[in-house]
Amino acid sequence: MRAYVALGSNQGECMQLVVDAMAALDGMANTRLIRRSFLYRTAPWGVTEQPDFINAAVELDSALEPRELLDGLLEIERVAGRKREGARWGPRTLDLDLLDYAGRAINEPGLTLPHPRIAERAFVLLPLADLAPDLEIPGQGRVADLLAAIDLAGCHRLPGSA
């Protein structure tokens, strides 16, 4: 199944953490990385008194069920040093968000698809639009249309990051 994952980091060697996470995603059982977006430097969202983030997105082909894929994302975060404590939307070594899984709508404890705030976040939509501008986010619209409706201030593509 086709899945899209957002990646972000603003602690440590951010670009390397994101690139390493892409490799780890490609190395997951029954999962293959199809394409990756450009890298973006983006202003923090929510808690603004923290360093800028490096953000990207990837397109995966995965035979894993959504919960299994999410568990794999959480393990990659853990290996990268992510600790799920402190302020929500605060600094983090690595953040991996499952954005969409084959267009499914899921609302279970710990797993909501599509990602609940996808339409509000330029740092998610910009890299996702690199991969799938025509992707229909269930109940929200096409990625390109969602992107056109939000403020892109504070988001900058990093040269040579394709």
- CATH code where residue 126 lies: 3.30.70.560
Residue 162 is assigned to a structural domain of this protein:
no
* pLDDT (tens digit per residue) in 19-36: 999 999 999 999 999 999
pTM score, whole prediction: 0.94
Instruction: Answer whether residue 91 shows pLDDT above 90.
Output: no
Range of the domain at 7: 2-157
* pLDDT (tens digit per residue) in 56-65: 999 999 999 9
Residue 15 is assigned to a structural domain of this protein:
yes
Residue 132 is assigned to a structural domain of this protein:
yes
Cβ density class 25-63: b for 16+ within 10 Å, e for less: beebeebebeebbbbbbbebbeeeebebbbbbbbbbebe
Number of domains in the chain: 1
Catalytically annotated residues = 82, 92, 95, 97
Residue 128 is assigned to a structural domain of this protein:
yes
